[in-house]
Amino acid sequence: MQRWIMHVDMDAFFASVEQRDHEEYRGKPVIVGGLSPRGVVSTASYEARRFGVHSAMPMSTARRRCPDGIFLPGNFALYRQVSAQIFAVFNRFSPRVEPISIDEGFLDITGMERLMTQPRAYAVQLKQAIRRETGLVASVGLAPNKFLAKIASDMDKPDGLVVISSEDVERILWPLPVSRIWGVGKKTAERLSALGYLTIGQLAQGSLTRLTASLGQHAARQLMALAHGQDDRPVETAREAQSVGREITFDRDLCTDEEVAEQLLVLAGQVGWRLRRAGLQAKTIQLKIRMADFTTYTRRHTLPTAICYDEDIYVAARELFQVFPRRGAIRLLGISGSGFETAGELSLFADTRKKEELYGAIDGLKKRFGEQIITKAPLLHKDGRGKP
Amino acid sequence: MKFTCQKTELVQALQIVSKAAASKPQMPVLSGIYLKAEQNQLELQATDYEIGIICHIEAEVEEAGTIVLSSRYFQEVTRSLPGETVSFDYDAAAQITRITSASANFQLMNMPANEFPTITQLTGTLSFTIKDNILKDLIKKTAFACSTDEARPVFTGCLLEVGESAVTMVATNTHRLAFKKENLDNLNGSIKIIIPARILSELQRIMVSEIPEEVKIICTYNQISFAFDNLYLTSRLIEGQFPDYHRVIPTDFKTRVTLETAAFLAAVDRVSLIARAGEYNVIRLEFGAGQVHIFSNNPEIGQAEENVPAVIDGPDVNIAFNAKYVTDVLKTITSEQFYFSLNQTLNPAAIREMDNELFIYIVTPVRTAH
């Protein structure tokens, strides 16, 4: 059966909410994001985008490019509330909704022919419903699969509605650069360009053998299928968290291993608490390091047994850092755990029982008085708490 | 080389020896079986450098000599032969061995016999003998508890301790531990070695004699050999420090449950059908009110539950285990009833046979919700 998938993406979501609620912002460049010197742009209104401001850009760059913009820290509680309204609309239009982010989702409308005369008209109804109920504008892509639907929603922003059918793949998809394929980041794009594949069309007509040699069999097959507009991933309704992580961008770059160790201890404590609160243990610990020049590295290690205690996470992250060859000023550190296990085998030889009791007490305090109530001695002087 | 022997004897010998032939040989000749015929005896050898097995059978030797034949074809051919006896005739010029039995004729290509690393029998100062039925019982009650994870080699073998008056074998994969002791006289030894589970399970398989016989064991610092009957087995030992197992055997349990072995094993086996899909094969056990409630649940498959009568001495306990860790040990228990000793939900539990203080099995529970 022919599938019909809708990808709905709110246009400049945070900025649009601000403009909707503040008449004085309308028609003006609005930029929402972290306002500290090292903050990052979350959303820029279309007016701001004309100045070359876009999301994920350092706030300092945004201020330079658009000095007269309206810079806002954002009201995330409000955005979540609006998001809930939007997803309520999604859920009325399809029984299968996959949330991707606060303002974006996939809707599987396959087999709903009785409710809709034509998929396109159904998408129009959805857009109208969102506008009527939230006063906001969405762009919709409609296609036989998730990949094409996502491409489609992006083609005519803002307020777009694009339908891509299987016959349109060559005409619409092939002229696009390979970077438009989901999962093709900078590095993969470079490799593809080295093979002479700049557009999706070139990739689709390229050699699977060469691609396999460069990217490995799994990635090569997947890319080839996507380049031909094929994607059979289902719309997954309730997606469980795949990882639990925390990262910190530092006000001042870290320069010494001691500073790094200290921050890893902070992060390990935060990640451990989140894991335990969710009743999870992680088998894989990932360390993310962003250098002052913005190059970003991730290193991961899969452990023989899943962990959830601060010091175990710290040790794993610390080891990853120790074997990380590059040294220099570090701008951001992150630790995340994945590969969850809810049940855990206990070891006869490791002394886990003491740890369990200790963390039972620590977590009890955190639950009652908040995460800051208890900290580790080496971190005491950092936040001014607990000084004698 | 030219000899004739009984087909059934040769088939049996090959079945035993071929277990040591390498499946992924470092060099081709290690995938072969070495044959040496002399003085009315045929010697068969195979080794993959980890373990080695030698077996002797009777043969009518017309012309002495040595050959190596591919283990796989040699075995398949011999097993299918029609006659009661088999004749071998090696043609050195053609590097071919002719195998004749009744109406059947085979010619098998030879492997170079001079390249085969023949097994040298160990000579060591540390040696002792043990009855094969006792050794077999030690292995049967412990080796199953070993780990198969090569990342931690010490757990892929059994610890053998020989003292003044007792032999002890211990195996663990860190989540469960099996301990078996035998009191023996005149052992005069002090040995503490880790023997790979692989050679022990081979031993267990081939020690089939009805009448107990002596097994002669010789150890060096890195090898061990077992000699009995017409067989000689040797293996590398596992190097490393076996953890202090005394520490993890609890001395005290608050609750002692007595259960019918067969009934409980059958119930756990059934309930675990549902648990098997999960990573830890989790079954929950609720001990209370004169019974144990066995329960498993998999949101994607369904659930199962069963009650088995139990004599519970002490407070009620709810606990979860990897079902395999429970059934594995129950399959080795010979007494009609057994003891399940428990403390609390996250404390290790013990399984013991009725009237047998020389065996104990410790198993850690599975944590199901933090």
At B143-156, the pLDDT tens digits run: 999 999 887 899 99
Omega of the bond leading into A158 within 30 degrees of 0 (cis): yes
The reply to whether A9 and A99 lie within a common domain is yes
Tokens representing residue A253 in the block: 């770059």
pLDDT tens string B292-337: 999 998 777 888 999 999 999 999 999 999 999 999 999 999 999 9
Cα–Cα distance between A194 and A200 in angstroms, integer? Answer: 14
Tell me how close the Cα of A300 comes to any Cα of chain B, in angstroms.
Answer: 19
Tell me the residues of A at the B interface, defined by beta carbons under 8 Å apart. 276, 279-281, 304, 308, 341-350, 353, 356
The reply to whether A134 and A262 lie within a common domain is no
End of a domain among B191, B222, B247?
B247
The reply to whether B210 and B164 lie within a common domain is yes
Does a structural domain hold residue B75? yes
Cα–Cα distance between A292 and A332 in angstroms, integer? Answer: 8
Q: What is the DSSP letter of A170?
A: I
For A349, nearest residue in chain B (alpha carbons): B174
**Is the CB of residue A175 less than 8 Å from the CB of residue A181?**
no
In which domain, by residue range, is A196 found?
169-227
Q: Does B172 touch chain A (CB under 8 A)?
A: yes
Q: Does B332 touch chain A (CB under 8 A)?
A: no
Q: Does B366 touch chain A (CB under 8 A)?
A: yes
Q: Is the pLDDT of residue B204 over 80?
A: yes
Domain with A46 in it: what CATH number? 3.30.70.270
Tokens representing residue A109 in the block: 């409308």
HEC string of B113-181? HHHCCCCCCCCCCEEEEEEHHHHHHHHHHHHHHCCCCCCCHHHHEEEEEECCCEEEEEEECCCEEEEEE
The answer, yes or no, to whether ipTM is higher than 0.95 is: no
Domain with A320 in it: what CATH number? 3.30.1490.100
| Helices A352-369, A257-277: crossing angle, 10 deg rounding | 80
Inspect the interface and report whether the beta carbons of A346 and B365 lie closer than 8 Å: yes
> Beta strands B2-6 and A344-345: pairing type?
unpaired
Does a structural domain hold residue B267? yes
Say what the pLDDT of residue B298 is: 79
Best CA proximity match to B286, nearest among B220, B365, B207, B233: B365
Q: Does B284 touch chain A (CB under 8 A)?
A: no
- Tell me which of A237 and B180 has the higher pLDDT: B180
pLDDT tens string A28-83: 999 998 888 778 898 999 999 999 999 888 899 999 999 999 999 888 888 888 99
Tokens representing residue A90 in the block: 């999604």
The pLDDT-based confidence of A342 (bands split at 50, 70, 90) is low
Residues of A in contact with B370 (CB under 8 A): 276, 279-281, 308
Best CA proximity match to B152, nearest among B74, B222, B242: B242
Inspect the interface and report whether the beta carbons of A304 and B248 lie closer than 8 Å: no
Cα–Cα distance between B370 and A356 in angstroms, integer? Answer: 9
The reply to whether B163 and B204 lie within a common domain is yes
Q: Is the pLDDT of residue B185 over 90?
A: no
End of a domain among B83, B115, B147?
B115
Measured over the CA atoms of residue B26, residue B29, residue B32 and residue B37, the dihedral's sign is negative
Say what the pLDDT of residue A110 is: 86
Say what the pLDDT of residue B272 is: 92
Region B57-61: mean pLDDT is: 95
pLDDT tens string A260-272: 999 999 999 999 9
Does a structural domain hold residue A106? yes
Least confident of A134-138, B105-109, B274-278: B274-278
Q: Is the pLDDT of residue A234 over 90?
A: no
Residues of B in contact with A349 (CB under 8 A): 174, 243, 248
- Coil vs helix vs strand at A195: coil
Q: Is the pLDDT of residue B108 over 80?
A: yes
Cα–Cα distance between B49 and B253 in angstroms, integer? Answer: 45
**Residue that has been written with the tokens 């959805």 in this structure:** A126
Half-sphere exposure at residue B150, Cβ-oriented, CA atoms within 13 angstroms: 1
Number of domains in chain A: 3
In which domain, by residue range, is B309 found?
255-363
| Helices B261-275, B323-330: crossing angle, 10 deg rounding | 150
Q: Is the pLDDT of residue B129 over 50?
A: yes
Of B322, B348, B366, the CB nearest to A348: B348
The reply to whether A256 and A342 lie within a common domain is yes
Q: Is the pLDDT of residue A386 over 50?
A: no
Domain with B319 in it: what CATH number? 3.10.150.10
Plot region of A84 (φ>0 → left; ψ -120 to 50 → alpha; else → beta): alpha
Helix (H) or strand (E) holding B99: strand B96-101
Tell me how close the Cα of A39 comes to any Cα of chain B, in angstroms.
Answer: 36
The reply to whether A260 and A317 lie within a common domain is yes
The reply to whether B226 and B144 lie within a common domain is yes
The pLDDT-based confidence of B162 (bands split at 50, 70, 90) is confident
Number of domains in chain B: 3
pLDDT tens string B234-258: 999 999 999 899 988 998 999 999 9
* DSSP per residue, A294-342: --EEEEEEEEEEEE-SHHHHHHHHHHHHHH----S-EEEEEEEEEEEES
Is this structure's pTM higher than 0.80? Answer: no
What percent of chain B has pLDDT above 90?
73
Cα A276 to the chain's mean position, in Å? 22
Helix (H) or strand (E) holding A157: none
Half-sphere exposure at residue A263, Cβ-oriented, CA atoms within 13 angstroms: 25
The reply to whether A154 and A190 lie within a common domain is no
The residues of A carrying an active-site annotation are: 104
End of a domain among B247, B278, B305?
B247
**Is the CB of residue A187 less than 8 Å from the CB of residue A206?**
no
Tell me how close the Cα of B247 comes to any Cα of chain A, in angstroms.
Answer: 8
Tokens representing residue A96 in the block: 């299968």
Best CA proximity match to A111, nearest among A98, A96, A121: A96
Inspect the interface and report whether the beta carbons of B364 and A346 lie closer than 8 Å: yes
Of B278, B347, B364, the CB nearest to A347: B364
Residues of A in contact with B281 (CB under 8 A): none
Residues of B in contact with A348 (CB under 8 A): 172, 174-177, 248, 348, 362, 364
Tell me how close the Cα of A46 comes to any Cα of chain B, in angstroms.
Answer: 46
Does a structural domain hold residue B163? yes
Does a structural domain hold residue A8? yes
pLDDT tens string B72-99: 999 999 999 999 999 999 998 989 999 9
- Tell me which of A183 and A19 has the higher pLDDT: A19
Q: Is the pLDDT of residue A19 over 90?
A: yes
Q: What is the DSSP letter of B336?
A: S
pLDDT tens string A189-216: 888 999 899 999 999 998 888 888 888 7
> Beta strands A161-163 and A138-143: pairing type?
parallel
